[in-house]
Amino acid sequence: MTGITIREKTQEQVNEAVKLQRNYFASGKTRPLEARKASLNKLADVLRKNESKILKALHDDLNKSEREAYTTEIGILLEEISFTLKNLDSWAKPKKVKTAVTHIGSKGYRIPEPYGVSLIIAPWNYPIQLAISPLIGAFAAGNTAIVKPSELTPHTSRMLSEMFEGSFDSGLVYVMEGGIETNQHLLDQELDYIFFTGSVPVGKIVMEAASKRLIPVTLELGGKSPCIVHEDADMALAAKRIAFGKLANAGQTCIAPDYLFVHRSAEEKFIEEFKKAVHEFYGEEPLKSDQFGKIVNERHYNRLKSYLSDGEVIFGGGFDDQSLQIQPALLRPESMGVPVMTEEIFGPIFPVLTYDRLDEVKSFVASRPKPLALYLFTADREVEKDITENLSYGGGCINDTLMHIATPHLPFGGVGESGIGSYHGESSFSTFSHYKSVLKQTNLFDFSFKYPNSKNGLKILRRLLK
């Protein structure tokens, strides 16, 4: 029992919240750069001041260790805010573009403007980071935002709502607790932008709802992210970095390596090194480690447990029905058609597949929906080139896992079934901005060839437009 009940919002409550934000946006208060910076600075202050409450909520909901919670939920946001504050002036400036020969005398500009009222729908696995990281973009670009956190992490949801209520005008930002019904009311509104992070099936629902009013969307979705370990990789380092990425938040990470393809000649060594890494990180009994997370709820816990019978467990795989924890596990899947190989795992179970030729891996990955992330471990530049140039995926790392998400210099997002659009750093700003194209014409002269009564007009146009 969580002790916290997240109540659904009524249609009227949702209407009221959106109306409040529409009025706030219409007042123009979000537009000045100084106001945007003030909101960002306040956001950083609020995060700092509430650090202990945030850590407690994340521990209650997901058993997140302080180290993991600080790094992936607070530190990453503070870093993103300071990067945004440093660069906002330059991102927000109208940018002059070149003048085409046909347009001599005029000047062209691209002027970023806020969309207006945005909706941010967040999932439960990084419930602070994934609610607030898009909000940084929304603020920077001058929007208001309704943030709908997940009902599956109720402590964090409640804490977020209280934290914002006491600190911000709800016309500017409102954390709306609620579940699916609340989301349905929200998706029924005249919004200006929807930023959704969550699963592929719900992503489709969001896009369908948005299409009715042609509301632009960003969809940050999930899927099965492959991890490839080539024969020439540094096995000890690869195993350590993969165990880190696979087991952070007990595997409940959208960009966690989902399954492994290891070269047949390296399989034994990799497995040995992976076990070593797990023991180094979490001791001989990971379920007793205060560094190892729990599964979010019983439904997901039972789903994960059922994967353990999809093949031969070759390492770990113990579980605890009380704490909803599953030991890190390596598993040889029975076939490619079992659920652990067709569904997104989102837990500490790691299917191990072997290959002889890289082409086998390439055709397998290419036959599945485009993944959110892909990780390749190799020292061979040709192999690196082959994979990065020939497979389509949202993003990833060579010789590491997860780290591409943590730099503001790399846009983060999926492709195909793993998502639409991207954010982080300048991409967050551009995601929440419409770039208005404006041409300013000179009055000093006027080319007559464009007019219908021009004698040689067509001749000149033919020369210019070819």
Binding site for ligand NAD (CB under 6 A): 121-125, 130, 148, 150-151, 179-180, 183-184, 197-199, 202, 205, 220-222, 254, 344, 346, 372, 414, 419
Options 80, 220, 273, 417, the catalytic residue: 220
Q: Which is nearer to ligand NAD, 326 or 383 (CB)?
A: 326
Q: Which is nearer to ligand NAD, 124 or 274 (CB)?
A: 124
Q: How many Cα atoms within 13 Å fall on the side-chain side of residue 275?
A: 12
User: Do 48 and 82 touch, CB atoms closer than 8 A?
Assistant: no
User: Do 432 and 143 touch, CB atoms closer than 8 A?
Assistant: yes
Supply the minimum distance, in Å, between the C-beta of residue 38 and ligand NAD: 28
Tell me what percent of the chain is helix, strand and coil, each rounded to the nearest 5: 45, 20, 35
Q: Which is nearer to ligand NAD, 142 or 154 (CB)?
A: 154
Angle at CA of residue 45, ends 41 and 49, nearest 5°: 175
Going by DSSP bridges, is the β-strand pair 311-316/329-333 parallel, antiparallel, or unpaired? antiparallel
Instruction: Please confirm, yes or no, whether 208 is among the known catalytic residues.
Output: no
Q: Which is nearer to ligand NAD, 186 or 233 (CB)?
A: 186
Q: Where is 88: in which H helix or E strand?
A: helix 76-92
Strands of 115-167, DSSP E = 117-121, 144-148
Supply the minimum distance, in Å, between the C-beta of residue 139 and ligand NAD: 19
Q: Residues near 280 by Cβ (< 8 Å), separated by ≥ 6?
A: 240
Supply the minimum distance, in Å, between the C-beta of residue 133 and ligand NAD: 9
Instruction: Please confirm, yes or no, whether 254 is among the known catalytic residues.
Output: yes
Options 254, 267, 344, 417, the catalytic residue: 254
Supply the minimum distance, in Å, between the C-beta of residue 117 and ligand NAD: 18
Say how far apart CA 345 and CA 224 lie, in whole Å: 7
**Closest residue to bound ligand NAD by CB:** 222
Q: Residues near 69 by Cβ (< 8 Å), separated by ≥ 6?
A: 54, 55, 58, 59
Supply the minimum distance, in Å, between the C-beta of residue 439 and ligand NAD: 37
Name the DSSP letter for residue 104: T
Q: Which is nearer to ligand NAD, 43 or 146 (CB)?
A: 146
Supply the residues annotated as catalytic.
Answer: 220, 254
